[in-house]
Amino acid sequence: MNHSSVAPESVPARQIKGVSAPKEQELHAFGIYTALDLMNYFPFRYEDYRLRSLAEAKDGEKITIQGILRGLPMVARFGKGKTRLTAKAEADGQLITAVWFNRMFIKDQLQLGREITLTGKWDARRMQITVTDSEFPDKGTAKTGTLQPVYSVGGTITQAWMRKTIRQALEQYGPLLEENLPERLLRKYRLMPRSEAVYHIHHPEDPKDGQGARRRLVYEELFLFQLKLQAYRMLNRRKADGIVHRVDPEVIRQFAASLPFELTDAQKKVVNEILADMRQPFAMNRLLQGDVGAGKTVVAAIALLAAVKAGHQGALMVPTEILAEQHMRSLTRLYEGTGLQTALLTGSVSDKKRRDLLAGLQMGLVDVLIGTHALIQDDVAFRSLGLVVTDEQHRFGVNQRSVLRRKGPSPDVLTMTATPIPRTLAITAFGDMDVSTIKERPKGRIPIQTYWVKHGMMDRVYGFIRREIDAGRQAYVICPLIEESEKLDVQNAIDQFVQLQQAFPDLKVGLLHGRMTASEKDEVMAAFAAADVQVLVATTVVEVGVDVPNATLMIVMDAERFGLSQLHQLRGRVGRGAHASYCVLVADPKTETGKERMAVMQETDDGFEVARRDLELRGPGDFFGTKQSGMPDFKLADMAADFAVLEAAREDAAELAAEDGFWTAEAYAPLRAILAKDPIFQGSQLD
């Protein structure tokens, strides 16, 4: 058969020598279907069979040495049919003892004067090697002198079989692997050609060679990933099918002047970035990140105003009904005197109201629609949707976002997140977006003091509550989510609520949890916002976005049950006004990381620093807390260790995707073909 025209990805694994039908079935469990998959099944470590000299072998080490048999084998039997075979051998001019356990079959091959290579654990005191592997040079040596790949195997697939099969695939199809990286990038980083790298990652000649192979493949993996994001971003720009918002700067200036505070420089900067995008013919796809309390809502309000004043409508989508209600209240207040019409759409709006609202939306009577996921349902139609703002939606990955964009004509999209994201993660999870960051908080904010106390100190915590309330402030008491049971979780909050009522009979204590109806929740929140309720006992339903500037005390019960970013979010509910604020973490952590988390919270109230430490403690996979995070599973790359490569790959990808030639030149057709296979480009013409 002539292979030269066959692409390895279209060759079923069955065609590789030694792969039977049942074995092929088993390979599927490893995600291996084709010759290419076999070659791309990389080892996770190597076994070292390189020859060593005895002089440098350390006691207890696994070594491979060359020797000549100098004594006839002797057999000792012990236990149930167990054997111990010993033979003297000469290695590096020394006489040593080789020991085999339960390897009687080798006895007849151990002839005097025969050369042998021995691999095993070295006992320096006894001058003895316990042999796990041996080869006879007169019969050929396959392993001796090499690094042998170690694959993840299982079922009836053994390490030896996998090695043989992958090697076979490499020999037959390895040379057909085509280069997929641009020549200039190969040169820039002195990367191995692809076919060479794939071969050498399985069979490195030495560790340096293996590292070179890995370096090339890690770069390839990160580059292709970043190229997908950057190409997606550029494709969107090139399509230029967005709305050009003609924004009158004077209108924006007037609105800003009407605010009860002056915008911070950071807010002004991001407003300008957003408005600049909105004026462009492509659909904006921008991430607005800023620490809790940085003042993102007013930025969103300005962008929405700009869309409306340019003759379109806006939508603000938030994850919870509580937040939707709150934004409804604050935007309505902010828009007083502008003539803008706001409306609220959540799952608990009655059918009749919903019908009226949808009609008004279609006629353009509603300018800004605020709501939960109910906003993106099929029957919600705008007269002219110009801007979608999503708040606290960091759990959306690029795939979900691309679905949202494909709904109808292309509105501008602004995604806000209050979880500061370490750059590594940001350029991975949000690499398709442009990013605006609010670094500074409004002036006059006093840093939040954080204390960690044991459960035994609740009396003092109660004293603290009393002090703040007497000073006219308000407090939150947060009860943790008990994952196994929402019912327990609610019970926990109810118990806490009863205790606080007993401890403070003269105060109004409120209760808020996930089992309450939307209108019950709204009622409690409104009462808390109006300071009719002084102490609010809540589950994590208040985690994101809730804004009651008069609240200055955040008490988190069983704080060890929360992740760092979550604690930071909770803490961000206070310190939102001019008063000094406090966060008290009540915790008796049993683990070291639990203690470490409490320490980090005490040390810093900078969200970016908290995020960095969180990433350190948890690792990237868990950082967002959900599988939906949009974080890719890299095969080889390690986001922490290969960070510098990730940065470089991102720049290279951005540069390439910005070139016209990338979209038209024949030379890039293979790269475009790789991208076209990705679901986010589904329906897009890449050539």
Binding site for Mg ion (CB under 5 A): 545
Stretch 503-562 residues interacting with ligand ADP (CB under 6 A) = 547, 549
Contacts of 633 (CB under 8 A, 6+ apart): none
- With b for 16 or more beta-carbon neighbours within 10 A and e for fewer, the 278-309 pattern comes to bbeebbbbbbbbbbbbbbbbbbbbbbbbbbbb
Choose the one of Mg ion, ligand ADP, none that binds residue 411, judging by a C-beta under 5 to 8 angstroms depending on kind: none
Give the span between the Cα atoms of 671 and 459, in whole angstroms. 65
Among the listed residues 99, 287, 292, 671, the single contact to ligand ADP using CB under 6 A: 292
Contact between 294 and ligand ADP by CB under 6 A: the answer reads yes
Name the burial class of residue 462, with classes exposed (0-12), middle (13-18) and buried (19+) by CB atoms within 10 angstroms of its CB: middle
Stretch that binds ligand ADP, among 20-28, 196-204, 287-295, 622-630 (CB under 6 A): 287-295
Q: Tell me whether residue 297 or residue 581 sits nearer to ligand ADP (CB atom).
A: 297
Q: Tell me whether residue 101 or residue 261 sits nearer to ligand ADP (CB atom).
A: 261
CA angle at 412 for the pair 409 and 417, rounded to the nearest 5°:
135
Give the span between the Cα atoms of 206 and 153, in whole angstroms. 24
Among the listed residues 298, 302, 308, 538, the single contact to ligand ADP using CB under 6 A: 298
* 381, 361 Cβ separation under 8 angstroms: yes
Q: Tell me whether residue 216 or residue 394 sits nearer to ligand ADP (CB atom).
A: 394
Q: How many residues contact ligand ADP, by CB under 6 A?
A: 18
Choose the one of Mg ion, ligand ADP, none that binds residue 290, judging by a C-beta under 5 to 8 angstroms depending on kind: ligand ADP
Contact between 120 and ligand ADP by CB under 6 A: the answer reads no
Phi, psi for 682 (deg, rounded to 5)? -55, 130
User: Rounded to 10 degrees, what is the CA torsion of 455, 460, 466, 472?
Assistant: -90
Q: Tell me whether residue 196 or residue 392 sits nearer to Mg ion (CB atom).
A: 392
Among the listed residues 66, 165, 195, 297, the single contact to ligand ADP using CB under 6 A: 297
Stretch that binds ligand ADP, among 277-285, 295-303, 529-537, 637-645 (CB under 6 A): 295-303
Q: Tell me whether residue 438 or residue 477 sits nearer to Mg ion (CB atom).
A: 438
Element (H, E) at 222: helix 207-239
Q: Tell me whether residue 233 or residue 296 sits nearer to ligand ADP (CB atom).
A: 296
Contacts of 10 (CB under 8 A, 6+ apart): 34
Contact between 98 and ligand ADP by CB under 6 A: the answer reads no
Q: Tell me whether residue 148 or residue 437 sits nearer to ligand ADP (CB atom).
A: 437
Q: Tell me whether residue 67 or residue 442 sits nearer to ligand ADP (CB atom).
A: 442
Q: Tell me whether residue 292 or residue 570 sits nearer to ligand ADP (CB atom).
A: 292
The pattern of x and - marking residues 582 through 601 that bind ligand ADP according to CB under 6 A reads: --------------------
The sign of the torsion formed by the CA atoms of 565, 567, 570, 572 equals: negative
Give the span between the Cα atoms of 178 and 174, in whole angstroms. 9
Strand pairing category for 385-391 and 313-317: parallel
Choose the one of Mg ion, ligand ADP, none that binds residue 157, judging by a C-beta under 5 to 8 angstroms depending on kind: none
Q: Tell me whether residue 393 or residue 450 sits nearer to Mg ion (CB atom).
A: 393
Q: Tell me whether residue 73 or residue 545 sits nearer to Mg ion (CB atom).
A: 545
* 342, 316 Cβ separation under 8 angstroms: no
The structure tokens listed for 533 are: 């309720």
Which residues share a beta bridge with 392? none
- Residue 528, SS3? helix
- As measured in angstroms, the least distance from the Cβ of 296 to Mg ion is 5
Contact between 264 and ligand ADP by CB under 6 A: the answer reads yes
Q: End-to-end CA distance of the chain: give it in Å, rounded.
A: 34
- As measured in angstroms, the least distance from the Cβ of 290 to ligand ADP is 5
Give the span between the Cα atoms of 322 and 315, in whole angstroms. 17
- As measured in angstroms, the least distance from the Cβ of 554 to Mg ion is 16
Stretch that binds ligand ADP, among 70-78, 105-113, 294-302, 645-653 (CB under 6 A): 294-302
Contact between 329 and ligand ADP by CB under 6 A: the answer reads no
Helices H / strands E in the chain, number of each: 23, 21
Among the listed residues 18, 127, 158, 261, the single contact to ligand ADP using CB under 6 A: 261
Q: Tell me whether residue 317 or residue 645 sits nearer to Mg ion (CB atom).
A: 317
Q: How far is CA 143 from the centre of its chain?
A: 39
The pattern of x and - marking residues 425 through 444 that bind ligand ADP according to CB under 6 A reads: -----------------x--
Choose the one of Mg ion, ligand ADP, none that binds residue 549, judging by a C-beta under 5 to 8 angstroms depending on kind: ligand ADP
Contact between 319 and ligand ADP by CB under 6 A: the answer reads no
Which residues share a beta bridge with 536? 476, 510
CA angle at 684 for the pair 679 and 687, rounded to the nearest 5°:
115
Stretch 368-427 residues interacting with ligand ADP (CB under 6 A) = 418
Choose the one of Mg ion, ligand ADP, none that binds residue 292, judging by a C-beta under 5 to 8 angstroms depending on kind: ligand ADP
Place of tokens 């690029």: 398
- As measured in angstroms, the least distance from the Cβ of 323 to Mg ion is 8
Among the listed residues 8, 210, 242, 293, the single contact to ligand ADP using CB under 6 A: 293
- As measured in angstroms, the least distance from the Cβ of 273 to ligand ADP is 16
Looking at residue 189, its amino acid is Y
Query: Residue with the closest Cβ to Mg ion?
Result: 545
Query: Residue with the closest Cβ to ligand ADP?
Result: 295
Give the span between the Cα atoms of 84 and 127, in whole angstroms. 17
* 647, 428 Cβ separation under 8 angstroms: no
Q: Tell me whether residue 214 or residue 571 sits nearer to Mg ion (CB atom).
A: 571
Q: How far is CA 624 from the centre of its chain?
A: 6
* 300, 389 Cβ separation under 8 angstroms: yes
- As measured in angstroms, the least distance from the Cβ of 555 to ligand ADP is 20
Which of 404, 387, 362 is CA-nearest to residue 304? 387
Contact between 296 and ligand ADP by CB under 6 A: the answer reads yes
Choose the one of Mg ion, ligand ADP, none that binds residue 490, judging by a C-beta under 5 to 8 angstroms depending on kind: none
Q: Is 117 left (phi over 0), alpha (psi -120 to 50) or beta?
A: beta
- Residue 155, SS3? coil
Give the span between the Cα atoms of 416 and 299, in whole angstroms. 10
- As measured in angstroms, the least distance from the Cβ of 331 to Mg ion is 12
Q: Tell me whether residue 236 or residue 569 sits nearer to ligand ADP (CB atom).
A: 569
Choose the one of ligand ADP, Mg ion, none that binds residue 576, judging by a C-beta under 5 to 8 angstroms depending on kind: ligand ADP
Choose the one of Mg ion, ligand ADP, none that binds residue 295, judging by a C-beta under 5 to 8 angstroms depending on kind: ligand ADP
Q: Tell me whether residue 235 or residue 317 sits nearer to ligand ADP (CB atom).
A: 317
Among the listed residues 166, 263, 479, 490, the single contact to ligand ADP using CB under 6 A: 263
Which of 6, 9, 3, 17 is CA-nearest to residue 37? 9
CA atoms within 13 A on the CB side of 345: 28
Which of 437, 446, 445 is CA-nearest to residue 265? 437
Contacts of 535 (CB under 8 A, 6+ apart): 465, 469, 474, 475, 476, 477, 500, 504, 507, 508, 509, 510
Choose the one of Mg ion, ligand ADP, none that binds residue 293, judging by a C-beta under 5 to 8 angstroms depending on kind: ligand ADP
- As measured in angstroms, the least distance from the Cβ of 292 to Mg ion is 7
**Where on the chain is the footprint of ligand ADP (CB under 6 A)?**
261-264, 267, 290, 292-298, 418, 442, 547, 549, 576
